[in-house]
Amino acid sequence: MNAWLMLVSSAPGSNPAARMRIWRALKASGACALRDGVYVLPRSGAATAMFEEQARAVAAIGGTAQIVSFDSTDPSQQAELERLFDHSEDYAALFGKLDAIKSGLATVDEIEARRQLAAMRREAAALAAIDYFPGPARLQIEQALADAEALANRRFSPDEPHAASGHVTSCNRVEFQGRTWATRRRLWVDRVASAWLIRRFIDAEARFLWLEHPQDCPALALGFDFDGARFSHVGPRVTFEVLVASFALDSDEGLARLGALVHYLDVGGAPVPEAAGFTAILTGARAQATDDDALLAAMSTVLDSLYASYGQPSRSDTSSTKLNENAVPEP
């Protein structure tokens, strides 16, 4: 049998604004109403904290609230409670929105397309956070998002690299100092993160060329993230991950977690909580940057902050625990 929490509350009608705030908070948490004033959630630390907070809010406006812990008594009751948390219609709505975005890609510019896809990622992530009993639709929307982002990449970044076979070659950083590095212009996730990595961890004096076409890469420049480049996708690794492995940076936990973020946004895979926020920031930065040098400067601050956060496992682990309790998303 499964464990549940129930909030039984009665709030006076004299403060409709406060009642609405409480209702919105409960709805945002994914709590389901058994009847007016009675809400249920699968039992967890996050659910307990949520119900306690709303119980205090009810008491503050002169109402009463009790939190009741119980176990489902038999499989039929468990199934009935789980049905309350069925999000099939919500996922169907997301699929409909995503189909509309894909149909309209040919009629909007890149900034608008990226903005729409980033918004879809945020919606999908918000739904996943309250999908306590996930079914196939959760994985299907992730795949559909990845497909839509790949479609956008083919339209707006037709020179995306293909993964090469073989192994990553080890490199000596001493031989890669003060070099000119080149990649495709209009930086997106893998390219901007790779450029940040190069300047921060590999070649502090790196100079960058932003290429209109990969074939414009000078012979003496170190190309990255395009077919035929010195550093690009190898097997399952994206360019950022190849650079990390090439220069023996694999043991850095912060870079490993950044690599997972870049990998997810570039080619899909395991969702990363920060993905939607990162793509939204990058989309906005691209809209404001005058050129790729300015974009790299703006996003380097973001990547520095993410790396610093990822380097603090105790804080990150605590955050991840809270997210998991609540859960139970290249444009």
pLDDT confidence of residue 280 = 87
* Same domain, residue pair 54 and 133: no
Check whether residue 274 and residue 126 sit in a common domain. Answer: yes
Tell me the pairing of strands 180-184 and 222-223. parallel
Q: Tell if the pTM clears 0.85, that is, is over it.
A: no
Domain stop point among 83, 102, 135: 83
Q: How far is residue 162's CA from residue 70's CA, in Å, rounded to a whole number? A: 53
Locus of tokens 């630390």: 45
Q: Which of 29, 62, 83 is the last residue of a domain?
A: 83
Q: Does residue 215 share a domain with residue 176?
A: yes
Q: What one-letter code names the amino acid at 299?
A: M
**Final residue of a domain: which of 83, 117, 146?**
83
E runs forming strands in the chain: 3-10, 32-35, 38-42, 64-71, 180-184, 207-211, 222-223
DSSP structure string for 199-214: IIII-TT-EEEEESSG
Domains: count for the chain? 2
The DSSP element (H or E) to which 82 belongs, if any, is helix 75-83
Q: What angle do CA 280, 194, 106 make, to 5 degrees?
A: 45
Q: Which residues, 6+ apart, have CB-to-CB distance to 243 below 8 Å? A: 194, 197, 198, 202, 224, 231, 249
* Whether residues 128 and 245 fall in one domain: yes
**CB-based burial, 200-218: b 16+ in 10 Å, e otherwise:** ebbbeebebbbbeebeebe
Q: State the pLDDT at residue 49.
A: 96
Q: 43 and 192: one domain?
A: no
Query: Does 47 share its domain with 101?
Result: no
178 exposure class (CB count in 10 Å sphere: 0-12, 13-18, 19+): exposed
My answer on whether 105 and 186 are in the same domain is yes
- Compute φ and ψ for 121, nearest 5 degrees: -60, -40
Residues 126 and 274 in one domain: yes
Q: Are 183 and 225 in contact (CB under 8 A)?
A: yes
CA atoms of 119 and 198, how far apart (whole Å): 30
Residues 268 and 210 placed together within one structural domain of the fold: yes
Packing angle of the helix pair 136-156, 88-103 (nearest 10 deg): 10
Residues near 119 by Cβ (< 8 Å), separated by ≥ 6? Answer: 280
Give the model's pLDDT for residue 315: 40
For residue 240 the two structure tokens come to 């950022």
* Angle ∠(84,87,90) on CA atoms, nearest 5: 135
Residue 89 to residues 106, 182, 270: CA-CA distances in angstroms?
Answer: 28, 46, 24
- Identify whether residues 71 and 101 lie together within a single domain: no
- Domain with residue 77: its CATH number is 3.30.70.930
Which amino acid belongs to residue 151?
L
For residue 300, give the H/E element and its range.
helix 292-310
User: Do 234 and 308 reside in the same domain of the chain?
Assistant: yes
Residue 22's domain comprises 3-83
pLDDT along the chain (331 residues), means of 10: 90 90 95 95 95 96 96 92 95 96 91 88 91 93 87 80 86 96 95 98 97 93 95 95 96 95 87 86 92 97 96 48 34 35
Radius of gyration, CA atoms only, the chain = 24
69/104 same-domain check: no
Q: Give the residue among 292, 196, 194, 290 at the shortest CA–CA distance from 237.
A: 194
Spatial strand order of the sheet with 222-223 comes to: 207-211, 180-184, 222-223
